[in-house]
Amino acid sequence: MSEMPHAAHGRIIESEFRPHPWLRGPHAQTLIPSLLRPLPALDFSIETLELPDGDFVRLGWCGAPEASRVAVLVHGLTGGFDSKYLRGLALLLVAQDWRVAMLELRGGGELPNRSAHTYHHGDTGDLRFLWQQLQARAPQRRIAAVGWSLGANVLLKALGEEGARSPVDVAVASCAPFLLQPCAEKLGTGFARVYQRHIMKGLHELVRRKHASVQLPAGVDVAAALRAQDFFAFDDAYTAPLHGFADARDYYARCQCGPYLKRIETPTLIINARDDPFMVRGLLPRAEALAPAVTLELTQRGGHVGFVARARNGGLDYWLERRIAQWLEQALPA
pLDDT of 2: 42
Give per-residue pLDDT as tens, 154-205.
999 999 999 999 999 999 999 999 999 999 999 999 999 999 999 999 999 9
Contacts of 314 (CB under 8 A, 6+ apart): none
Residues 290 and 89: their CA atoms lie apart, in Å, by 26
Residue 276 bears catalytic tag:
yes
pLDDT of 213: 87
Residue 75 bears catalytic tag:
no
Contacts of 41 (CB under 8 A, 6+ apart): none
pLDDT of 59: 99
Give the active site residue among 83, 149, 166, 174: 149
Give per-residue pLDDT as tens, 104-134.
999 998 888 999 999 999 999 999 999 999 9
Q: What is the mean pLDDT of residues 254-278?
A: 98
pLDDT of 19: 97
pLDDT of 112: 87
Q: pLDDT over 70 for what percent of the chain?
A: 98
Q: Is the pLDDT of residue 75 over 90?
A: yes
Residue 250 bears catalytic tag:
no
| Structural domains present in the chain | 11-179+260-331 (3.40.50.1820), 193-255 (no CATH)
Q: Is the pLDDT of residue 295 over 50?
A: yes
Contacts of 162 (CB under 8 A, 6+ apart): 128, 168, 266
Selection from 274, 283, 278, 320 nearest residue 174 by Cα: 320
Contacts of 42 (CB under 8 A, 6+ apart): 62, 87, 90, 91
| Predicted confidence band of residue 4 (pLDDT cuts 50, 70, 90) | very low
Q: What is the mean pLDDT of residues 205-210?
A: 93
pLDDT of 149: 98
Q: What is the mean pLDDT of residues 212-229?
A: 94
pLDDT of 93: 99
- The pTM score is 0.96
- Beta carbons of 105 and 117 less than 8 angstroms apart: no
| Predicted confidence band of residue 1 (pLDDT cuts 50, 70, 90) | very low
Lowest mean pLDDT among 3-12, 71-80, 196-205, 281-290: 3-12
